[in-house]
A and B are shown apart, each in its own frame.
Chain A
Amino acid sequence: MVMSSLKLQDLIEEIRGAKTQAQEREVIQKECAHIRASFRDGDPLHRHRQLAKLLYVHMLGYPAHFGQMECLKLIASPRFIDKRVGYLGAMLLLDERQDAHLLITNSIKNDLNQGIQAVQGLALCTLSTMGSAEMCRDLATEVEKLLLERSPYVRKKAVLTAVHMIRKVPELSDTFLPVCAKLLHERHHGVLLGTITLITELCERSPAALKHFRKVVPQLVQILRTLVTTGFSTEHSISGVSDPFLQVQILRLLRILGRNHEESSESMNDLLAQVLAVNILGRFLLNSDKNIRYVALTSLLRLVQSDHSAVQRHRPTVVECLREPDASLSRRALELSLALVNSSNVRAMTQELQGFLESCPLDLRADCASGILLAAERFAPTKRWHIDTILRVLTMAGSHVRDDAVANLTQLIGGAQELHAYSVRRLYSALAQDISQQPLVQVAAWCIGEYGDLLLEGSCEETEPLQVEEEEVLALLERVLQSHMSLPATRGYALTALMKLSTRLRGDNNRIRQVVSIYGSCLDVELQQRAVEYNTLFRKYDHMRAAILEKMPLVDRGGPQADEEVKESKEATHLLEPAPVPTEPQASKLLDLLDLLDGPSEDSQQPPPVDPSPEGTLIHLLDLPCAPLAPAPIPNLKVFEREGLQLNLSFVRPPGTPTLLLITATATNASEGDVTHFICQAAVPKSFQLQLQAPSGDTVPAQGGLPVTQVLRILNPNKAPLRLKLRLTYNHYGRSVQEIFEVNNLPVEAWQ
């Protein structure tokens, strides 16, 4: 019979050329006959080719069992090509159900020991694919030895073979456990991966092993951290993630080790949260894709509430993002930057933010300015720094600051006695340069009025020597008064300041008197009234003037808590004073006049000045209104949740107004789709008065975007139990939604 030694590829070609199933079968049967004959005749040189053909045919579904012995022969051959095909055949044709399979154990043993890596690799591969329990028992020692081989190529395969062996013969766990600790120090990713897999297998099978390996948790976390923080390494990375295969495997093991074991979990948690989530987000920040950067900033913003320190790590990157030309990115970066300010980085951060303030788009300026001021207030390292910062913000973005900034600053300055001279000088210089920024002008005017004497003293270590003449000061204030840029409130400040200077300055007061009398016929009623009163003070009550115009005492404020409440209502409403002004009428109506409470931009945190007149009944005025003990906060209430959109209510009962309840409704969106056209309406029983203030917006962006807040003001004069019905309408996921519901479980503190 002619031996047709078709090449493998030719055979494949021929088979594929067959037009019908029958034809194919014919070709194959013919070829198989040849192959069988070849095996019988024992042609060693082409044996591998014959087997390869057989394997192909086998894949098509044809019987190939007569090739099993040939596999053995090939494996035993010294030629690499033989071994390669032989082992492949073994894996495809031999399995533990065949008796023949045990026969290769010896060959495998020989190949494992003969020191040529490629061959060792083949043997290990086959063993781990089809090795039966018996084979595994026989070869355990060999594999154990190979775990310590110099070559990582062999080691990585040995480790995974050990995994297979343990699966087949669980008792072998004892053999392979000891070496794991050492293998964890591997730097080769393949070996390391195999080791992690091995440890996982061990832990899953034995609680003792689990306990034993808990102590490597720190090491695992360290490896993971290194992986995540190492920069891009092309060799092991997929889409910029360092070796995700290894990471996933480590995570899996950590999950097993940490299960129900608090200590391990603890040590993992901080590191994991930081390392994984935050660092990955941090790297997104550097991504060139804007969308990814935006998402990263948004996610970090959410994270910063729960894990502040982890996000801090990315502060420099976040600050970089401030310079983004893209407005939505820089807005996010601004929010995040403000959230990241703390006492240690406040100086650096405010500097950055001030830089941003100078160049940022107008719509962000207000937020930025407010943010800086708030941060300054919370974290100011020194009062002087604080004053400087506020000054700088006022100079740069004065028209955009919140209304209470003026009051805050005056209070701040007032309280920092050592800084009066400094402040007044700085403010004077600033004012002299620019009288257009109203908040700045107001503060400056107030300061000059209060501390004019210090201004004229001429020396202060902290600023450059400033020689200021009385006339200059008066001229400046007059300029402010006359300027068309000045708001009525500002002019009020200026006028009062002038008046105060009448007692602070040494010169005669003719100029002041003149100005005051001129304004007596001013068209602005407010100014007119003041001027008339001041005039009267000059003419009829001159003896009291000094006393009345004395320096103001320190005002005690509610502090940041008051600010929180102000923030909640979004605009300074008069009823939110934490420090209610004493409203008792006084014997002398002049005291009322000098009450600096008028003007819409000031809020009533400045009580009337002290009058140390002999009338003892005035002593009670010295009971400076201090913030009453903050009542216990009322717990928040989640009232609505649907598909990731959540509505929470928070309640405030401002002290001093027992019938008033302020509810802030906050809508947050954790879903993937934006919520738009969001409108919240409320209804209360007839005995209540309800006022809905303007919401902060009508869109709640997806995935934790900026929430929409709205304040509800409810007056409850009868102190009746509160009932509240809400109606929400919005668009979400392309559908319009309407929900009407009554709020249950309102806390009793809301009305009692």
Chain B
Amino acid sequence: MQFMLLFSRQGKLRLQKWYVPLSDKEKKKITRELVQTVLARKPKMCSFLEWRDLKIVYKRYASLYFCCAIEDQDNELITLEIIHRYVELLDKYFGSVCELDIIFNFEKAYFILDEFLLGGEVQETSKKNVLKAIEQADLLQENMKDKGYHFIMQGINDAHLQEKVE
């Protein structure tokens, strides 16, 4: 995956994850054009479109568009599954997620994405494991706002070690 964008129906960007190095100006231009293209699509159209030399996979969930740019050899359908899985993760974390959750907790949305994808590839296929990792990290964050962190971090380590293997 080259990048993922989340934007509203008014074209307002809610999340941008870039896995390729581009200047700010380039990113802005791409975002603007792509948002325009996707928003112009009619509801019944399929989720795939070709744009520049990339394949764009997008899906609308309520008021948010989830849009991924993948390379030629990447699989569109699995990308749709990726998008869906991400939405499920957000949903589980926030409890019936809506756009406002993502607006007000955008950094959390990033953290969750970073436990699911890494470098543009899927890193964890178990929903449970992803959510557990976020939970641990949130705990860690809470616990060491003011205290020293060594012991607590150690506890988190052990928990991670017990991460279920199939």
Contacts and interface: CB of A to CB of B under 8 A. Distances in A.
Interface of A: 8-9, 12, 16, 52, 55-56, 59-61, 78-81, 84-85, 88, 92, 95-97, 115-119, 121, 124-125, 128-130, 132, 150-154, 156-157, 160-161, 163-164, 187-190, 193-194, 197, 233, 235-236, 238, 243-246, 248-249, 252
Contact of A88 (B107, B140, B165): B107
B76 to A, nearest CB: 11
Given A88-B111, A128-B119, A238-B85, 17 more contacts: A59-B14, A84-B141, A88-B110, A96-B21, A116-B153, A117-B157, A150-B161, A152-B163, A153-B133, A163-B119, A233-B166, A235-B166, A236-B166, A245-B78, A245-B82, A245-B125, A246-B125
Contact of B126 (A16, A60, A96, A190): A190
A142 to B, nearest CB: 16
A156 B93 CA distance: 22
A79 B140 CA distance: 9
Most chain A CB inside 10 Å of its own CB: which residue of B17, B18, B126? B126
A666 B154 CA distance: 72
B98 interface: no
30 contacts: A9-B104, A52-B107, A59-B15, A60-B12, A80-B137, A81-B145, A84-B141, A85-B107, A88-B110, A88-B111, A95-B22, A118-B137, A121-B133, A125-B114, A125-B118, A128-B119, A151-B161, A152-B163, A156-B124, A161-B118, A163-B121, A188-B166, A189-B124, A189-B166, A190-B125, A197-B121, A235-B166, A238-B81, A245-B81, A248-B78
Q: Give the top 6 A-B pairs by smallest Cβ distance, nearest first.
A: A128-B119, A164-B119, A160-B118, A190-B124, A188-B165, A116-B153
B136 A118 contact: yes
A2 to B, nearest CB: 24
B19 A129 contact: yes
A194 B128 contact: no
B36 to A, nearest CB: 15
B97 interface: no
B61 to A, nearest CB: 17
Contacts of B164: 235
Interface of chain A, helix or strand or loop or mixed? Answer: helix
Contacts of B137: 80, 84, 118
A79 B163 contact: no
Contacts of B123: 156-157, 160, 190, 193-194
Nearest to B77: A248
Choose among A8, A115, A128, A130 the residue with the greatest number of B CB atoms under 10 Å from its CB. Answer: A128
Given A80-B137, A118-B140, A160-B121, A95 B156 contact: no
A47 B49 CA distance: 42
Contacts of B15: 59
A343 B137 CA distance: 62
A79 B136 contact: no
Contacts of A252: 73, 75
B23 interface: yes
B10 to A, nearest CB: 12
Contact of B127 (A115, A161, A235): A235
B13 interface: yes
B125 A243 contact: yes
B129 interface: yes
A8 B165 CA distance: 38
B86 to A, nearest CB: 12
A119 B144 CA distance: 13
Nearest to B144: A80
